[in-house]
Amino acid sequence: MDIRELAVPGAWVVTPRQFRDERGAFVESFKASEFEKATGRPFELCQVNCSVSAAGVLRGIHYTEDPPGQAKYVTCVRGAFLDVVVDLRPGSPTYGRWDSVLLDDVDRRSVFLSEGLGHAILSLEDQSTVTYLCSLEYTPEFDRDVDAFDATLAIDWPTVGRDGAPLTYVRSPKDTVAPPFTAVT
């Protein structure tokens, strides 16, 4: 398992080793001891979520008010997503910086993001499926959003899917009216 920090401190990409034979593949996608050694922190699991998305579905940028904050460990189990992490921690030297990782069912990478970081995923093909391991149960009163197309953040969203076909972005009504980055406090 290879774990490296992204350009946004507090976010890591985890690339597991895959063991393949005539039966298929085995992947150890999370191991607490290796995770703690690489990140310097434990990960307490409180909730697991799974979402399935059509090509072009853009979920986020979502975050949880900090404190209490919510850490997430995100893994694509089918298809492909562009996973984007945004530093939304006021006072952070990397406030407003974002980084992205391709999560797919080929390399089987995961992304861990610490409390206070924003998160978005863009599905790059139909039926893409992602699981989120969360450190805090969903609490609507702490739920926050930022517009994924905010010009200040200037996230470089792909315009074509994994198959090379053009993507039409699909967002929830809530994400469509998300406030700009300048509203984060």
4 forms beta bridges with 13
Domain membership of residue 86 (yes or no) is yes
Structural domain boundaries enclosing 79: 2-153+165-177
pTM: 0.95
Q: What is the pLDDT, as a whole number, of residue 184?
A: 86
Domain membership of residue 158 (yes or no) is no
Q: What is the pLDDT, as a whole number, of residue 163?
A: 96
Q: Indicate whether 111 pLDDT > 90.
A: yes
Domain membership of residue 184 (yes or no) is no
What is the number of structural domains in the chain?
A: 1
- The answer to whether 63 is a known catalytic residue is no
- The answer to whether 62 is a known catalytic residue is yes
The catalytic residue among 62, 63, 73, 119 is 62
Domain membership of residue 183 (yes or no) is no
Domain membership of residue 108 (yes or no) is yes
The catalytic residue among 73, 132, 138, 169 is 132
Residues near 117 by beta carbon (within 8 Å), at least 6 away in sequence = 8, 10, 11, 63, 85, 86, 87, 88, 89
Domain membership of residue 66 (yes or no) is yes
Sheet holding 98-104, edge to edge: 98-104, 80-87, 117-123, 58-64, 143-145
Domain membership of residue 185 (yes or no) is no
Domain membership of residue 60 (yes or no) is yes
Quote the percentage of the chain above a pLDDT of 90. 99
21 vs 34: CA distance, rounded Å: 25
Q: What is the H or E stretch that residue 175 is in?
A: helix 173-176
Count of alpha carbons within 13 Å of 6, Cβ hemisphere only? 26
Q: Indicate whether 136 pLDDT > 90.
A: yes
20 vs 17: CA distance, rounded Å: 10
111 vs 43: CA distance, rounded Å: 13
Give residue for tokens 């206070």.
116
86 vs 30: CA distance, rounded Å: 22
Average pLDDT value for residue range 145-168:
97
Answer whether 110's CB lies under 8 Å from 74's CB. Answer: yes
Q: If DSSP codes are grouped into helix, strand and coil, which group holds residue 34?
A: helix
Mean per-residue pLDDT over the chain, rounded: 97
Q: Indicate whether 185 pLDDT > 90.
A: no
How do residues 50-82 score in pLDDT, each as one tens digit?
999 999 999 999 999 999 999 999 999 999 999
Please report, for the domain that includes residue 51, its CATH number.
Answer: 2.60.120.10
